Structures are given as C-alpha cells and as structure tokens.
C-alpha cells in the first residue's frame, strides 16, 4: 500500500508530496450501492392513479363499512383480548352509537322544546370530549395507543349502555314504581360493568402495567356519567 511506504516519520515528504499523489489509491468501494429513483413528472403520474375504491358502487361501500362496524360490535359484546378494534379502527360505530344515544335521550314532550336541543348537544359533547380527555390522559400516562384508536375503542364500548337505554325505554312503558326503578337500576349497572370490562380488555395492554388503574379510572367516570344520564331518563 502506498501509504505504508511513505513513512509518516519523515516531516519533509508530507508537505512536498505532489498534489493528487494519493489519488491512485482511491477507489470506489464495491459495496456502496449506486441506486436512485427516477421519478416521472407529475402529469403522466396522475393518469396512472389507481382509484381502487372510488369506482365501486355505493352499495358495496356501505355494505363493507357496515360489515366492519358489525364485526366490531360483536367484539365488544363478547370481549376477548383481540386487536381488531385497535388494528382497523374506524369512527363510524361511535358516531352511530352516539347519535342513537343522543336521539333517544331527548325528551319528546312539547313543553320542553328548548330542552330538546341542548339534550342532544349535551350528550354529544359529553361523549366526544370525554373520549378525547381520556385519550389524552392515557397518552400522558405513557400509553402507546394512538389517538384515534383510543377514540374508537371508547366509542364502541358505549354499545352495552345503548342496549341498556333501549331496555330501559321498554321497561318504562310499564307502570312506574319502585320495581320499575330497581329493574332499570340493575340493567344499567350490569351494562355499565360490561362497558368497563370491554374497554379495559382492549385498552389495558397499551398501558404500562403498574399504571393501569390510573388509566381505567377516568373511563369509569366517563361511563358512570353516561349510565347516570340513562338511568335518570324519564320520558314525559
């Protein structure tokens, strides 16, 4: 090797070495890959764009989304530790549930016209801002779940409470009394527990193990508020 022959101990030769003397030693090593990407200008690229889901019929799109929502409903009703809700999250289910809940919690008496509006907005705001707050809290506690995944799980786990609301409305068709109230209380408590178990089954894995209680408590408060709204609902 040329460098070895030129002794570094010789001070004179280092400065008097002719320019480019070391160039003969330089070679491009073979293991540096020379590669790149030739991008074609935009105009022709647009024509190639694959509109994969844009061309299908509306019915296909709706059925596909409904099937996804239905599958997730099944996962909520029979909670097992699975990743379906987390992996392909979507917000259709939470929206449907939230709108159903809000519509049914409206009092349908003509007298309280101005209460009909705020009822709907109240439920909507509680559900969505509550879910956002819980998500932020779980992220700040060190959870590794994304924002929309958490919104998706919390929204889908409102399903048992919506079922409870339907049952309560049916029960309220009978004559009011303490038995009526006890039945409704029992149903709401069971569904409340079901919601918490379902959401914990999905969310627990994303939290550090020693802080699960800290992350579950706001979920408990959230579903408690919704359950309370359902329990104290009396159609006039």
Beta carbon nearer to other proteins, 80 or 114: 114
Beta carbon nearer to other proteins, 69 or 203: 203
Beta carbon nearer to other proteins, 43 or 47: 43
Beta carbon nearer to other proteins, 24 or 236: 236
CB of 129 to other proteins, least distance (A): 9
CB of 180 to other proteins, least distance (A): 15
CB of 209 to other proteins, least distance (A): 11
125: number of Cβ within 10 Å: 12
Beta carbon nearer to other proteins, 90 or 122: 122
88: number of Cβ within 10 Å: 12
Q: How far is the C-alpha of 14 from the C-alpha of 11, rounded, in Å? A: 6
Q: How far is the C-alpha of 133 from the C-alpha of 139, rounded, in Å? A: 10
For helices 58-77 and 147-156, angle between their N-to-C axes, nearest 10 degrees? 70
Q: Which residues bind other proteins (CB under 8 A)?
A: 36, 38-43, 107, 111-112, 114-115, 117-119, 122, 125-126, 133, 136-137, 139-142, 210-211, 213-214, 217-218, 221, 224-225, 228-229, 232, 234, 236
CA 233 to chain centre: 29
Q: How far is the C-alpha of 197 from the C-alpha of 216, rounded, in Å? A: 10
Beta carbon nearer to other proteins, 68 or 141: 141
Which element (helix H / strand E) includes 192?
A: helix 178-203
Phi, psi of 200 (to 5 degrees): -65, -40
Give exposure, 174-193, as e/b (b: 16+ Cβ within 10 Å): eeeeeeeeebbeebbeebbe
Contact 106, 117 (CB under 8 A): no
CB of 16 to other proteins, least distance (A): 18
CB of 110 to other proteins, least distance (A): 8
CB of 230 to other proteins, least distance (A): 11
């Amino acid at each position: 090797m040329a460098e070895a022959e030129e002794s570094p101990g010789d001070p004179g030769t280092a400065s008097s070495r002719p320019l480019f003397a070391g160039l003969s030693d330089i070679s491009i090593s073979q293991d540096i890959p020379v590669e790149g990407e030739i991008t074609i200008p935009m105009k022709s690229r647009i024509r190639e764009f694959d509109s994969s889901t844009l061309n299908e019929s509306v019915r296909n799109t709706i059925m596909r989304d409904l099937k996804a929502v239905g599958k997730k409903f099944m996962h909520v009703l029979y909670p097992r530790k699975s990743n379906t809700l987390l992996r392909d999250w979507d917000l259709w289910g939470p929206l449907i549930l939230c709108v159903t809940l809000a519509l049914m919690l409206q009092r349908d008496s003509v007298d309280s016209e101005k209460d009909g509006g705020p009822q709907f907005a109240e439920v909507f705001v509680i559900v969505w801002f509550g879910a956002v707050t819980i998500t932020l809290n779980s992220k700040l506690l060190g959870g590794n779940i994304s924002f929309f995944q958490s919104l998706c799980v919390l929204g889908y786990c409102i399903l048992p409470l919506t079922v409870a609301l339907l049952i309560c409305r049916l029960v309220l068709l009978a004559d009011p009394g303490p038995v009526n109230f006890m039945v409704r209380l029992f149903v709401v408590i069971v569904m409340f527990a079901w919601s918490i178990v379902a959401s914990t089954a999905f969310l627990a894995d994303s939290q550090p193990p020693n802080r699960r209680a800290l992350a579950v408590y706001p979920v408990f408060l959230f579903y408690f508020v919704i359950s309370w709204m359902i329990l104290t609902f009396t159609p006039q």
